[in-house]
Amino acid sequence: GQQLNQSPQSMFIQEGEDVSMNCTSSSIFNTWLWYKQDPGEGPVLLIALYKAGELTSNGRLTAQFGITRKDSFLNISASIPSDVGIYFCAGQRPLGDSSYKLIFGSGTRLLVRP
Amino acid sequence: KAGVTQTPRYLIKTRGQQVTLSCSPISGHRSVSWYQQTPGQGLQFLFEYFSETQRNKGNFPGRFSGRQFSNSRSEMNVSTLELGDSALYLCASSYHTGSTGELFFGEGSRLTVL
């Protein structure tokens, strides 16, 4: 089935470092989204991207919708301990019958060393 | 406004039993989606309901079913439980039928099958 390849699987970084993660697919998506899941919680939407080439920031987070529409990246600048969690990318495309298909990547587990 | 509420938060069942999980979406949201989250498989889409109609279905066996009520609350049922059904079941709501991919997740119901 259709899959999103998200990398890296996990990262263990020092507080203050910048972080970069990305998702790629063999298929085109109309929307790319990035979610974060804290331990014991459900995922929370961080950034949504709707146009190829779009670059959007949310505080220290920046995400881009790849121009091929097959990839997206998320950068976190100056990481802090509360950035710990699992980051998921998600791609969405219409199915042609007014419904949509939303696929999640396998997640990037981020650990931040104080 | 109140978030997505899932009950119960934790439950333990034995193989062969059945389980019903409940989800109350954000007030005004008409779409409810269900996901299964396991360490090995990530977030897997189960089904989506909009205005009491199933709009989309993932690749799960018929033992997994759901429904949505007129007040948009949703339930999912798993019959004849198997060990592999142990997972975190997440419910997500959105105003439209998932057209933007912007989902609001609950905290999940963690099911353990013994």
pLDDT tens digits for B6-55?
Answer: 999 999 999 999 999 999 999 999 999 999 999 877 899 999 999 999 98
Cβ separation B101–A99 shorter than 8 A: no
The C-alpha atoms of residue A83 and residue A61 are separated, in whole angstroms, by 10
Cβ separation A104–B43 shorter than 8 A: yes
Cβ separation B107–A42 shorter than 8 A: yes
Instruction: Using the predicted structure, report yes or no on whether residue B100 has a pLDDT greater than 70.
Output: no
CB proximity A41 to B under 8 Å: yes
- Which of B4, B98, B108 comes nearest A100 by C-beta? B98
Best probe of the B interface among A32, A46, A86, A100, by most B CBs < 10 A, is: A100
Q: What is the dihedral of CA A101, B100, B73, A38, to 10 degrees?
A: 90
Binning chain A into helix, strand and coil, the percentages to the nearest 5 are: 5, 55, 40
Instruction: Using the predicted structure, report yes or no on whether residue B99 has a pLDDT greater than 90.
Output: no
The C-alpha atoms of residue B21 and residue B71 are separated, in whole angstroms, by 16
Ramachandran class of A40: left when φ > 0, alpha when ψ lies in -120 to 50, beta otherwise? left
Q: Average model confidence (pLDDT) for chain B?
A: 93
Mean pLDDT of B51-63: 92
Percent of chain A with pLDDT over 90: 82
Residues of A in contact with B59 (CB under 8 A): 1
Residues of B in contact with A44 (CB under 8 A): 105
- List pLDDT tens digits, range A37-74: 998 899 999 999 999 999 999 999 999 999 999 999 99
CB proximity A104 to B under 8 Å: yes
Cβ separation A101–B104 shorter than 8 A: no
Residues of B in contact with A100 (CB under 8 A): 56, 97-99, 101
Answer yes or no: are the C-beta atoms of A35 and A98 closer than 8 Å.
Answer: no
**Nearest chain A alpha carbon to B56:** A99
DSSP 8-class letter at B26:
P
The C-alpha atoms of residue B51 and residue B43 are separated, in whole angstroms, by 24
DSSP string, A24-57: E-SS--SEEEEEEE-TTS--EEEEEE-STT-EEE
- Which of B43, B101, B107 comes nearest A31 by C-beta? B101
